[in-house]
Each structure stands twice: as structure tokens, then as C-alpha cells.
Structure 1
Amino acid sequence: MSTAPVRSETTIADFWGDPRCPWAWITSRWMLEVEQVRPLETRFHVMSLSVLNEGREVPEKYRQGMTDGWACVRVCVAAQQQHGSEVLRPLYNAMGRLIHHEKAGLGHDMIRAALEEAGLPADLVEAAENTSWDEKLRAEHHEGMDPVGSDVGAPVIHVPGPDGEPLAFFGPVLTPAPRGEAAGKLWDGVLAVAGTDGFFELKRGRDRDPIFD
């Protein structure tokens, strides 16, 4: 049984993730689980690992992903701009399932399938190679990432702080996603540390690959 204070009002959590990031995908599954046991509403936003890693040296095995990864986030931003931010949740869910569970890749076939699953117009796939969306993409990316600094990755979460000011933090990075009350207890702990003035980091080395269950 959780000993965290009971919150009667719904907490709005703004979640920034790149659909192709497996760690962000797992965290998003955890947050949807938390919604079932805590008064939480998750709002989805777009960040881009390709934007984040521009100009950085990345391992060879990730370089193609940096190039291919532009397509899906451009489409996400185009969908957001044309149909409202609420479409990002079903679109992220569809892309994440196809990428991480169905191993559908990052190409146009995956994007078309995700758009269909999310109930969005098929012609949004044209945004995949359209660099005119990059300005909006960068703005959306930086809105989420700038408050936590440049030395973190995905996911990033913003929540209201105790004083009304927003709290922004990277993570949590975890696998597999906790379920039920275990998910809720972790959320309580995350809010506790994120709301502690002067708290910056809690970390240990990863000893397993992402587990999608």
C-alpha cells in the first residue's frame, strides 16, 4: 500500500519521446499503467534523437538511425500542427508498437500503417521527407529538452511542482514497465525526488536490454 499523499486532482504529465527510442517507449507504457492507478493524465509531445545528436559523434551502429529517424518525427509534428496535439497519443502508440513489437522499421510503410491505425489521413506520410517541418520539430523538441539540459536523452517528463512551477526531468529509464500498484508506487517516488530542491541524479549501470512485454 502506498504511503504517498493522496492527490484528488488529476496531475497533467507532459511526456516527450521519440517513437524510435525503446527506452522512451517503455517509459510511456509505464505512464499509461500509472493512469490506471493514480489521478494522472499523460500528454504526448515530440522530441527527436536526430535533433538531439546533431553534430555529435555517435557509434556507427546508430548513424543510419540518426538519418532514418527524421521521417517519423516530422510526420508526428505535421499531424500535431494539422490535427491538434491530442492526435500524438494514438500516433505515438501506433508507431511505437510497429517499431518495437512488430519490427516494422522506420520507413514509409511503417508510417502509413501507423497513420491508418491512429485514424489520420494517409497523405501525412508526405511530411516524412519534407524539411519544411523541421523548424516546428526543433521548437517542439527544445520546449521539452531545454529545461533539463543538453546532456540527457529520451524520455523527458514535465509535471507541476509543489509551488506551481513546472518540474522537468529525464527518465525514468526502466525495463520492463511496472504494472498495477507497482507502477503507481514508482510514480509516487519519481514525484518525490523530482520535487526535492537540489536533487539532480539517481542512476546505476544498465545490465539488460529493453524488454517489451
Structure 2
Amino acid sequence: MNVTAPGRPAQTVADAWIDPRCPWAWVTSRWLFEVEQVRSVETRFHVMSLSVLNEGREVPEKYRTAMVEGWGPVRVCIAAEQQHGPEALRSLYIAMATRIHHQKAGLGQDMILASLADVDLPAELADVAQTTDCDKALRESHHAGMDPVGSEVGTPVIHVPGPGGELIAFFGPVLSPAPRGEAAGRLWDGVLALASTDGFFELKRTRDRDALFD
């Protein structure tokens, strides 16, 4: 859909569902930041949870600890969005993902408190990490993003305008690294072209590299 602010041209909205601990969602987010510089696009972030996504699934042992620790950051993200709005969520997501993926700061309270301080949000928000107070809202946000794209995917997930303005939910694009400048814009144009094609469902190939952030 398009949004128009006074004195500004109409913008296309890209809705992105993120968990700060997902490296692939972070790379896709960095691509969307580039797109915002070269196309009239606004990215709106929403919270999903890898811990919710993988509930009841068999996962490798090395991921089980992260599934437990992963509740904290997304709980704090949803609380920040509820209490301080979507811009606060965007800023906090960037701060958390930077610390998790670039500084290898882990998922614990130290990372959460430092990220809150980075973006001038109250330290008290970190208390939510250890409670279930926001879990209902977290699950609602998670399912709003993930249900339309189906149960066979993970992250990243984005929703973009399709034919007639209805939103089309995608898994991806999965990138490593994120394209920059006009290359990012051309990929965005391609995503919109796919979204506008009736009956399009999937493009995929096997990844042969880890997530690259630079």
C-alpha cells in the first residue's frame, strides 16, 4: 500500500517481520535500508519469534539454548513497540541486531540493557524479558506476519503490495551480503514484479555461504 505524508511523495510500504537473533532477517533488513535510499519505500518492522516458530519442532542441540534465550529480546521488542511506538521498535531492533551479529554480544540482559541505552529507551523495559506479560501480543504479531506466508518457511518474511494493492507475503529474499545502492533498488523492483504476478509462489536455490553483514 502507499502512504502519503504532507509535503512528501507517496511511499510504498514494506512490512518486515524480524527477530533480532536471526542473521538472515538482519541481512534482509540491511537491504531494505538501502532500498529506502533509492526508492520511495518505507520499511515498517514487526516482531516475530524464532522461539515461537520452532515450538514443538525437533531442532539441533546447539539451537536449543538459543530458543530459550531468544524469548528475552523479542519480548522487550514487543514491549517497546507497545509503549513507545513503531519507530522505537525500529531503533531498538537495529541496536540489538548490531550487538548480536556484529559485536557477538549474545542474547542476555547485558545486551538488552546496552541496546536500550543505545536508543534512549527506559532500562525498565528489560524486565519484560523474564516474564510472559507480553507473550500474547508477541504471538499475535508473530502470526500476523507468518500465517499469510505459510508454515513451511522461516525468516526473513516481508509483505509487499501485489495486484490491486493487496499484500503479498514472501519468505525472503534471503541474501548474503545485502546489495547496496541501485543494486538494492533493482532487487526491490524484481520483488514487486514477482508480487504482481498471479500464481507466483517460489524461487529457491541452496545457500553456499553464511550470512555476511558487510
Corresponding residue SS for 2:127:
helix
TM-score by length of 1: 0.95
| 1:103 matched residue in structure 2 | 104
CA–CA distance in 2 between the matches of 1:95 and 1:191? 29
Alignment of 1:28-43 (within 5 A): 28-43=29-44
Residues 91-131 of structure 1: CA distance to partner in whole angstroms, max 9, x if unpaired? Answer: 00000000000000000000001111121101100000111
CA–CA distance in 2 between the matches of 1:91 and 1:130? 19
Partner amino acid for 1:121? Answer: P
Corresponding residue SS for 1:43:
strand
| 1:135 matched residue in structure 2 | 136
| 1:4 matched residue in structure 2 | none
Instruction: Please list every run of 5 or more consecutive structure 2 residues that lacks an aligned counterpart in the other structure.
Output: 1-8
CA–CA distance in 1 between the matches of 2:150 and 2:139? 15
Residues 138-197 of structure 1: CA distance to partner in whole angstroms, max 9, x if unpaired? Answer: 001001111101111111111222302111111100100000010000111111112211
Aligned length: 206
CA–CA distance in 1 between the matches of 2:178 and 2:162? 24
Corresponding residue SS for 1:35:
helix
CA–CA distance in 2 between the matches of 1:195 and 1:68? 39
| 2:3 matched residue in structure 1 | none
CA–CA distance in 2 between the matches of 1:34 and 1:111? 28
Do residues 166 (structure 1) and 185 (structure 2) align?
no
Partner amino acid for 2:23? Answer: P
Partner amino acid for 1:11? Answer: T
Alignment of 1:140-159 (within 5 A): 140-159=141-160
| 2:212 matched residue in structure 1 | 211
CA–CA distance in 1 between the matches of 2:120 and 2:159? 27
TM-score by length of 2: 0.94
| 2:199 matched residue in structure 1 | 198
Corresponding residue SS for 1:28:
helix
Corresponding residue SS for 1:188:
helix
Do residues 24 (structure 1) and 25 (structure 2) align?
yes
Structure 1 vs Structure 2 CA RMSD? 0.9
Corresponding residue SS for 2:59:
coil
| 1:116 matched residue in structure 2 | 117
Partner amino acid for 2:142? Answer: H
| 1:49 matched residue in structure 2 | 50
Q: What is the Cα deviation at residue 68 of structure 1?
A: 0.5
Percent identical residues: 71
Do residues 9 (structure 1) and 10 (structure 2) align?
yes
Instruction: Please list every run of 5 or more consecutive structure 1 residues that lacks an aligned counterpart in the other structure.
Output: 1-7
CA–CA distance in 1 between the matches of 2:179 and 2:22? 18
CA–CA distance in 1 between the matches of 2:29 and 2:197? 23
Residues 39-89 of structure 1: CA distance to partner in whole angstroms, max 9, x if unpaired? Answer: 100011100000000000011111111111000000001111111122111
CA–CA distance in 2 between the matches of 1:195 and 1:161? 5
